Chains A and B, each alone.
Chain A
Amino acid sequence: NAGVTQTPKFRVLKTGQSMTLLCAQDMNHEYMYWYRQDPGMGLRLIHYSVGEGTTAKGEVPDGYNVSRLKKQNFLLGLESAAPSQTSVYFCASSFKRGRTYEQYFGPGTRLTVT
């Protein structure tokens, strides 16, 4: 199993450009998440999905959109990139073990917006 994969690994955008980050998981997990990690801050949840065709806002959703058309894929879109969106983006997926949701993270995408 590849687990959780993310493409691309690195990207540089100019302000105003758009892009889509792809997350894929082969563990048949229902839940998927997008986080951003910035220096000196803990990971923050952008959007999440509890199943195919459903999405919900997290802690910092502004400037991002997501789609979950297939169970194994979760896309994160930036319609008009801003320098404040320079960050490392992590995708995660989870399943329920007892009363706990075990989250598995992808390797990350480092995005720079100039």
Chain B
Amino acid sequence: KNQVEQSPQSLIILEGKNCTLQCNYTVSPFSNLRWYKQDTGRGPVSLTIMTFSENTKSNGRYTATLDADTKQSSLHITASQLSDSASYICVVSAAHNTDKLIFGTGTRLQVFP
């Protein structure tokens, strides 16, 4: 069964600190992996999209890594800000139907001053 699992479920950090969120998937065949940021009461917004040939991709203070062999991805946030408080959702697309997305349940990040 195609699944995307994220850890931790929730995380609290102090402003200025770094953190790393994890994503494991069992989707096969694999096309691409995305990380979305979802602010409370808003729709998800794309941070990065990586295909199987990409190991890392950055978007400002956000850096995503992908290991297609172990089917793992991480999202690293550097020098966190209060505005980083949100849910971060890992999403995987299957190769045979490139527009079908399998969503993880997200990691809820809270950044405190």
> A45–B101 contact, CB under 8 A?
yes
**Within 8 Å of chain B (Cβ to Cβ): is A79?**
no
The 5 lowest CB-CB distance pairs between A and B, nearest first, are A42-B103, A105-B43, A43-B103, A101-B99, A105-B44
**Within 8 Å of chain A (Cβ to Cβ): is B46?**
yes
B 1-28 contacts with A by CB, 8 A: 4
CB neighbours (8 Å) of B99 from chain A are 31, 48, 94, 101
Q: A42-B89, A42-B105 are in contact. Are A101 and B98 (CB under 8 A)?
A: yes
Residues 18-48 of chain B: 1 if any A CB is under 8 Å from the residue's CB, otherwise 0?
0000000000000110000000011111100
Chain B: interface residue count, which band? 20 to 34
- 30 of the cross-chain contacts (CB-CB < 8 Å) are A4-B43, A40-B105, A42-B102, A42-B105, A42-B106, A43-B89, A43-B101, A43-B103, A44-B103, A45-B100, A45-B101, A90-B43, A92-B43, A99-B31, A99-B32, A99-B51, A100-B31, A100-B93, A101-B93, A101-B98, A101-B99, A103-B46, A103-B101, A105-B43, A105-B45, A106-B43, A107-B41, A107-B43, A108-B41, A108-B42
**How far, in angstroms, from A80 to B98 measured CA to CA in the complex?**
33
B: residues with CB less than 8 A from A are 4, 31-32, 41-46, 49, 51, 89, 93, 98-106
Most B CB contacts (10 A, CB to CB) among A31, A90, A105 go to A105
Chain A: interface residue count, which band? 20 to 34
> B51–A41 contact, CB under 8 A?
no
**How far, in angstroms, from A101 to B41 measured CA to CA in the complex?**
24
- CB A72 to nearest CB in B, in angstroms, measures 17
